[in-house]
Structure 1
Amino acid sequence: MKFYRNTDDIRLKMNEAGSAKKPFLFGINYEMSEGFFIENPLSQTDILFQLRGIGNKLVNEVEDLSADLSYTPISESEYQHKFDIVHKGLRRGDSFLTNLTIKTPITTNISLQDIFDRSKAPYQLYMPDRFVCFSPERFVKIANGHISSNPMKGTIDASIENAEQIILNDFKETAEHNTIVDLIRNDLSMVANRVHVERFRYIDRIKSRNKEILQVSSEIVGELDADHHSHLGDIIFKLLPAGSISGAPKPATVNLIRSAEEEDRGYYTGIFGYYDGTTLDSAVLIRFIEQDNKQMYFRSGGGITAYSKCSDEYQEVLNKIYFPFKI
């Protein structure tokens, strides 16, 4: 395994391996200042991963130990300060949608490895002593000459009466989802032909701690050129950062995020993916716990629009702090 400070090296290695149809695992952080590239990743255990049932995640016996989770978030007034910076940018017209995230110290009696071993999620990644991710969100999939993406925008507790109707009829959530679908459609149009929305605003059910949440998703699909395997790195890098965790328009929104968050995200909201020689699948690094010395932090966020209310957005980022298993 090798880490790269010049992530353009990863792009070139992806092109080379794709041209030769050689399997690889890759990851790129949000700032595109660091990444990793591993050939034949199923034969190594430096980084553990699983993408929709494919990977090197070991079937370990999980210790029958109840997992504790507590956290100390920033105050709502501290969040309000960040929110106001974003909202001012939205009112100026710098952005139509901005993903604002926070970093929350958590306390638990289990390790990053334990969290990874117990996690149940479509996409999982574990980098020892650094972070664990249990993401529900695909970045892009490249298969059978097509590229597809499934952005998620809109979350609600499934136990609320008529939850599905409430989230699908919510004006703010609808505006946010429409914006991100338009952004992803434009992004895919940079690398593919005949881009279209295959499915619009369908419901995914996600296990969250001891409850279930509903997440609204869409599917956007485009057709790739016949020689796309030799350009896998070019395709992926042209789409970064992921639209669902930045916003629209991208360049101005990324600057607005930096002003409001005032710290690097690192691998949080970056991407990782696996290519098996035929198909490439990848995920957005959300639902993310990182470790700094002995302190763990949960990173969470949500999309802000001109219609957002600070108190609702603050509660949403706290609701996303969870373990993806019964505790």
Structure 2
Amino acid sequence: MIYNNIEKFEDKNFAYFCKFNGNTGQERLFVSDDYNTLYKDSEGFLESEVYDLINKNEFIPACATYSLANYFNNIYEKEKYPYFYYMIPERSYKSNIERKSFKTVSLKSNYNDISISLKIKELIERIRAGELLQVVISREFYLKNIDFKRLLSSFINNDSSLYVYYYKFGDTRIIGSSPENVFTINNNIINVRPIAGTRRRGSDEYDDKILENELLNNEKEKLEHRMLLDLARNDLGRICEPGTVNVDYSMKIEKFLTVQHMVSSVTGKTNASLRDIFASVFPAGTVSGAPKKRAMELINKYEDNIRKEYAGAIGIISKDYTDMALVIRTIFSHDNVVTARAGAGIVKDSIPEDEVNEMFSKAMTVMGDYYEESVDNR
């Protein structure tokens, strides 16, 4: 298994990317001495710089930060941050991998956060006033004493997410277990899998089923999901050939380590450029809201600090196949400061306390015993 050998490349930059289909997956590891960082003033980087590299390399590992949204939407930025990281691999490795099993963890559901609750209440009032339909608000958590190797092994063997990744660009580390893609393209067929609607996992099979049925019958959760499914269809409709956008399935329940979600899948046929695809689908509606631009403006207003890589896209890019995971359920390390982040979708019928619990449940999927209740996690 390739992931066991990552420690050998600690003095390099690397990108580990694994996509699962059930219990089997394909893992890739890319290694390089150098990496590239692109900012807003890197004019045309998606059209020329990355495209030129794609034609010369089998795969380019890359990460689009949430700040890339400003490249297309011209929203005021609180601080300058890279839009895009990528690496030209000097060495690459590929292997198949099998998950032996995964766990179910039932979490407590009585978290409290007065500050974020007040923000949610204000956002609900804005939604009820007709300012927008939905917005995803997030908060940051500070962590302690991360063992990245153990964390990666846990994501691979104990979770059931679609993606597991571990990227190191200089002093930045991004390690996560994401259930959702931003987009996947295979020979001009593009797919997005919006996820919206969450319940914790039950303490046993019976409790788990009760929570699943509660989710499927919750009108607020279904409303939120339908809005984001429609947004995904509209996003693809702008870049796909007419008549090719289809919903493969809708509101299917998928179960993960600590939470269960409603998931849909939308596909279409496209010949659009990488730039136009990002411009249409980025950021994902499931981490921004609807309408997207107003939601992003309010995210910028209500969140205390910029999202950096959170809610961005991470994966591999090639000429015929591109797979970009949504950067959620992820831990970040910047100059040895380690954080996680999680969000909740707010609609007119949201209950602030429930949204806070959802936020913590999502975060605990990756934080586990690394979460430190301290003054930094208020």
* Cα deviation, residue 290, structure 1: 2.0
In structure 2, the partner of 1:219 is: 265
In structure 1, the partner of 2:253 is: 203
1:305 aligns with 2:347: yes
TM-score normalized with structure 1 length: 0.81
| Contact 1:12 1:233 survives alignment (8 Å) | no
* Cα deviation, residue 325, structure 1: 10
Letter in 1 for 2:39: R
In structure 1, the partner of 2:228 is: 180
In structure 2, the partner of 1:261 is: 303
- What SS does structure 2 have at the residue aligned with 1:98? strand
In structure 2, the partner of 1:246 is: 288
Distance 1:185 1:42 in 2: 38
* Cα deviation, residue 114, structure 1: 3.4
- What SS does structure 1 have at the residue aligned with 2:261? strand
Structure 1: stretches of 5+ with no match in the other structure: 45-49, 60-72
Structure 2: stretches of 5+ with no match in the other structure: 1-34, 69-80, 99-109, 370-378
Q: Residues 157 and 38 of structure 1: is their aligned pair in 2 closer, same or farther, counting only changes over 3 Å?
A: same
In structure 2, the partner of 1:123 is: 163
Letter in 2 for 1:122: L
1:2 aligns with 2:36: yes
- What SS does structure 2 have at the residue aligned with 1:259? helix
Match of 1:36 among 64, 67, 85: 85
Distance 1:275 1:291 in 2: 24
Alignment of 1:44-193 (within 5 A): 76-107=113-144, 109-120=145-156, 121-128=161-168, 129-130=171-172, 131-159=174-202, 160=207, 161-193=209-241
- What SS does structure 2 have at the residue aligned with 1:43? strand
Distance 1:42 1:196 in 2: 38
Distance 1:41 1:267 in 2: 24
Q: Residues 311 and 11 of structure 1: is their aligned pair in 2 closer, same or farther, counting only changes over 3 Å?
A: farther
Distance 1:206 1:278 in 2: 30
- CA deviation string 1:61-118 (max 9, x = no partner): xxxxxxxxxxxx99521112221332232123222111110011233x4323432343
Percent identity of paired positions between Structure 1 and Structure 2? 23
Q: Residues 117 and 325 of structure 1: is their aligned pair in 2 closer, same or farther, counting only changes over 3 Å?
A: farther
| Contact 2:111 2:356 survives alignment (8 Å) | no
Distance 1:300 1:156 in 2: 14
Q: Number of aligned pairs?
A: 295
Q: Residues 323 and 199 of structure 1: is their aligned pair in 2 closer, same or farther, counting only changes over 3 Å?
A: closer
Distance 1:152 1:140 in 2: 13
* Cα deviation, residue 41, structure 1: 7.2
- CA deviation string 1:292-316 (max 9, x = no partner): 5544222011111001000000111
Distance 2:367 2:121 in 1: 34
- CA deviation string 1:203-249 (max 9, x = no partner): 112123xxxx3211000111113xx5xx2233224321121100110
Distance 1:112 1:299 in 2: 17
1:12 aligns with 2:48: yes
1:290 aligns with 2:332: yes
| Contact 1:301 1:317 survives alignment (8 Å) | yes
| Contact 1:11 1:237 survives alignment (8 Å) | no
Q: Residues 307 and 326 of structure 1: is their aligned pair in 2 closer, same or farther, counting only changes over 3 Å?
A: closer
Distance 2:311 2:256 in 1: 19
